[in-house]
Amino acid sequence: QNGGDQNHKTKVEQFFAYSWHLHKSTDMVSIKALSEQLPYRLSKEVVYYSTRELLEPMFKEFGSENLIKDLSTVLKQTIYLPGDFIILKDDVGEEMYFIAEGSVYILAEDKRTVLNTLGKGA
């Protein structure tokens, strides 16, 4: 079992090295695109490896690596520009957002007064 885990880890590391070589990037978009060409189990490991730093702190209480792996496969990267509104008061929320980079301001109803600031990992 342990030898298999080590072999799997080596394949994941090789994938990231290859991704970096091709795209000079290990961003989520490149990872998702490249991982679609891999066998399902290896693809799941690769996507998990790229998102675990973001997800593990939030879901560690559940004590399930498989939960985090499953969540990582359904994440969709979205880029918001400065000044974009992600969600407004009274909107029905159908998504869950994870801040991977940058910060998000929680604004008062006047859309100018900053009530709180959320950063990476929030």
Q: What is the pLDDT of residues 13-27, one digit of tens each?
A: 776 776 666 655 556
- What is the pTM for the complete model shown? 0.62
Contact residues for 15 (Cβ-Cβ < 8 A; gap 6+): 34, 35, 38, 42, 46
User: Does residue 122 carry a pLDDT above 90?
Assistant: no
User: Does residue 118 carry a pLDDT above 90?
Assistant: yes
pLDDT score recorded for residue 117:
95
| Average predicted confidence (pLDDT) for the chain | 81
Helix (H) or strand (E) holding 17: helix 2-23
Distances (CA, A) of 17 to 13, 21, 76: 6, 6, 22
Q: pLDDT for 35-52, tens place per residue? A: 778 888 888 888 888 888
pLDDT score recorded for residue 100:
84
Q: pLDDT for 48-77, tens place per residue? A: 888 888 888 888 888 888 898 889 888 887
27: region left, alpha or beta (phi > 0 left; psi from -120 to 50 alpha): beta
User: Does residue 7 carry a pLDDT above 70?
Assistant: no
At residue 120 the predicted structure's pLDDT band, cuts being 50, 70 and 90, is: confident
Helix (H) or strand (E) holding 106: strand 104-107
d(CA 74, CA 36): 13
Q: Can you give the residue ranges of every domain in the chain?
A: 2-74, 78-122
DSSP bridge partners of 114: 107
